[in-house]
């Protein structure tokens, strides 16, 4: 009798229990243990807070919100880049049970209006401007169309000072009373997932979801209160506010803000100046840092660990981060906003080969499985399929969208990620692409990730993205968007074919090559492949092929 194949299923065993706190209670516990330790550093302004100073400011702001009429369950929007006030609003809303709604700093009026109305935001805390965006003007334009929006406060203005002043007059006993009435299972955060099509959906997350995810990610990086974490990734996304802020405050480490938005020089300077032990980024950020002309002049010797996540992490880039940045214990995290966000993480003890070529194993207290998208059955290990995840980290649902929630989370509470993955015999997972990213050329299934990894081995290619474009004969052909090393001779399709012949199957060699300076991206560093495809069709004159109907 044959033995059944081992299924692609794993659950994260841990002797460390989940935290049963609310975010506010957990924060207060850390403050009590480490009152004089540095909690927050904003490098551009030189402002610094110890844990006890940060708590004083957070509590004043929380009472200021109460004075403005904000109650438990009310939605408070935050529309700002990475500034200390963002962090304060995060903890102040958590203490009074208001639901913080993260608004993408890149949004324009159309998207802003949608989110303000969809979430029913009654109070908005906003920066006045960021880069080319005049937030004040945009808010003025949409406010008449947002009936729920009663109050807008701009950071760093007299109205912000008044909000803090009102809180200073408030009663700390009232705050303690409000905090005591909160449950860890209450919704506390809405994050709009950067949908590449249509309007974004509001993933609704509880204290329990994000506090525990931050805590276990921090443990995965082996954080102690001695660690100083450089956070150049946006706060409005889980990477910044959960894996960054909550990982630090749940353990007592220091949050370091290198700048309002990502800048490679500012990030490298912050690491050197603040002696950061950990650095976060999406792959494109690390690529920009490694390629900075002054890279060698920064003393990065304090770095020990960090996280690369947000989009597929190229093996070659990971190797350079370890070798040139000294991040010996760097980890890769994989997840999505709907899962708070991290479902798998590499361990600092994993061999380098596994740390650069997989997204690790399942997180503590989480389950993962890989299924056949057609049948829904778990596939044997080593077989590709759709990755699903279940556990404390799965969101409560999409805000006010039960149908969309039901499409993503099945009756057994499995979140269907839409990502394709393979689990090996030891439980390590490799993400091979998105179900929708797969290119089918003449009946051959091609996963762009595999070709991208190959292109990184070319000495003159700094970054590469591969998409499918329409083709009359084969249905789809491959098109590579490539960023070249400075001073390198540009590649064309013939040169690339020459480089790839004998190393890649002929049908995997891109037919089209486009040399670009940048890729269209969401603010979180996710490549917008839908937009790349549209641009490629236009630039390559493939409109006729694109109009061909298929079954």
Domain with CATH 3.40.50.12780 in the chain: 23-423
Check: CATH 3.40.50.300 for 444-547? Answer: no
Phi, psi angle pair for 541, to nearest 5°: 65, 40
May I ask the CATH architecture of the domain 23-423? 3-Layer(aba) Sandwich (3.40)
pLDDT of residue 196: 42
Strand ranges for 27-165 from DSSP E: 38-42, 47-50, 75-79, 99-102, 121-126, 129-130, 133-134, 151-154
DSSP H stretches of helix in 306-382: 315-325, 352-357
Residue 125 and residue 478: Cα distance in Å, rounded? 44
pTM, full prediction: 0.89
**pLDDT in tens for each of the 551 residues of the chain?**
788 999 999 999 999 999 999 999 999 999 999 999 999 999 999 999 999 999 999 999 999 999 999 999 999 999 999 999 999 999 999 999 999 999 988 888 988 999 999 999 999 999 999 998 999 999 999 999 999 999 999 999 999 999 999 999 999 999 999 999 999 999 999 999 854 445 789 999 999 999 999 999 999 999 999 999 999 999 999 999 999 999 999 999 999 999 999 999 999 999 999 999 999 998 889 999 999 999 999 999 999 999 998 777 888 889 999 999 999 999 999 999 999 999 999 999 999 888 888 999 999 999 999 999 989 999 999 999 999 999 999 999 999 999 999 999 999 999 999 999 999 999 999 988 778 788 878 777 788 888 998 999 999 999 999 999 998 888 889 999 999 999 999 999 999 999 998 888 788 899 999 999 999 987 667 788 889 999 999 999 999 988 876 55
Angle between helices 172-180 and 51-67 (to 10 degrees): 90
Ranges in the chain annotated CATH 3.30.300.30:
444-547
For 396-401, which contacts have Cβ atoms below 8 Å and span 24 or more sequence positions? Answer: 396/187, 396/204, 396/205, 396/206, 396/209, 397/204, 398/201, 398/202, 398/203, 398/204, 399/118, 399/119, 399/190, 399/201, 399/202, 399/203, 399/204, 400/118, 400/202, 401/201, 401/202
- Structure tokens belonging to residue 140: 């003025």
pLDDT at 194: 59
Spatial separation of the C-alpha atoms in residues 21 and 32, rounded to whole Å: 15
pLDDT at 197: 44
Give yes or no for a contact between 398 and 342, defined as CB atoms under 8 angstroms apart. no
Measured CA to CA, the distance from residue 124 to residue 146 in angstroms comes to: 11
Rg (CA), the chain: 24
Which backbone phi and psi does 413 adopt, to 5 degrees? 70, 25
Query: Does a cis peptide bond (omega within 30 degrees of 0) precede residue 341?
Result: yes
Residue 359: burial class (beta carbons within 10 Å; 0-12, 13-18, 19+): buried
């Amino acid at each position: 009798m044959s033995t059944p194949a081992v299924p692609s299923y794993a659950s994260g065993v841990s002797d460390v229990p989940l935290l049963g706190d609310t975010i506010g209670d957990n924060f207060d516990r850390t403050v009590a243990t480490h009152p004089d330790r540095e909690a927050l550093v904003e490098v551009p302004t030189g402002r610094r807070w110890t844990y006890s100073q940060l708590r004083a400011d957070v509590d004043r702001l929380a009472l200021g919100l109460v004075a403005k009429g904000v109650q438990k369950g009310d939605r408070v929007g935050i529309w700002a880049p990475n500034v200390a006030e963002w962090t304060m609003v995060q903890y102040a809303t958590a203490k009074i049970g208001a639901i913080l709604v993260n608004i993408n700093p890149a949004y324009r009026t159309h998207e802003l209006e949608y989110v303000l109305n969809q979430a029913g935001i009654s109070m908005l805390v906003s920066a006045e401007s960021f880069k080319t965006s005049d937030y004040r003007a945009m808010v003025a334009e949409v406010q008449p169309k947002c009936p729920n929006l009663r109050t807008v406060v701009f950071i760093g203005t007299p109205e912000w000072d008044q909000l803090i002043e009102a809180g200073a007059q408030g009663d700390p006993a009232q705050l303690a009373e409000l905090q005591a009435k909160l449950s860890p299972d209450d919704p506390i955060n809405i994050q709009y997932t950067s949908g590449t099509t249509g309007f974004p959906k509001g993933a609704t997350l509880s204290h329990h979801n994000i506090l525990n995810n931050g805590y276990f990610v921090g443990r995965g990086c082996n954080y102690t209160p001695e660690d100083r974490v450089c956070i150049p990734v946006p706060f409005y996304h889980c990477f910044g506010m959960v894996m960054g802020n909550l990982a630090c405050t749940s353990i007592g480490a220091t949050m370091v803000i290198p700048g309002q938005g990502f800048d490679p020089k500012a990030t490298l300077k912050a690491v050197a100046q603040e002696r950061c032990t950990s650095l976060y980024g999406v792959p494109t950020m690390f690529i920009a840092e490694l390629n900075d002309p002054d890279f060698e002049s920064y003393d990065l010797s304090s770095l020990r660990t960090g996280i690369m996540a947000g989009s597929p992490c190229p093996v070659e880039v990971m190797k350079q981060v370890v070798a040139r940045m000294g991040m010996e214990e760097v980890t890769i995290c994989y997840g999505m906003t709907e899962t708070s966000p991290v479902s798998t993480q590499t361990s600092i003890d994993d061999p380098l080969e596994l740390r650069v070529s997989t997204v690790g194993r399942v997180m503590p207290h989480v389950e993962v499985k890989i299924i056949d998208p057609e049948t829904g059955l778990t596939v044997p290990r080593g077989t590709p399929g759709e990755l699903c995840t279940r556990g404390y980290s799965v969101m409560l649902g999409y805000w006010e969208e039960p149908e969309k929630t039901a499409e993503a989370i099945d009756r057994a509470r499995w979140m269907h990620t839409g990502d394709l993955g393979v689990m090996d015999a030891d439980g390590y997972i490799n993400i091979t692409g998105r179900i929708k990213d797969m290119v089918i050329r003449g009946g051959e299934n091609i996963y762009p990730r595999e070709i991208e990894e190959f292109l990184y081995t070319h000495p003159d290619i700094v970054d590469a993205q591969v998409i499918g474009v329409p083709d009359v004969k084969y249905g789809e052909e491959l098109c590579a968007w490539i960023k070249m090393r400075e001073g390198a001779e540009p590649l064309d399709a013939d040169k690339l074919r020459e480089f790839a012949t004998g190393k890649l199957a002929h049908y995997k060699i891109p037919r089209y090559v486009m040399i670009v300076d940048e890729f269209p991206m969401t603010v979180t560093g996710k490549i917008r492949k839908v937009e790349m495809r549209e641009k490629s069709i236009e630039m390559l004159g493939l409109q006729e092929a694109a109009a061909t109907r298929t079954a």
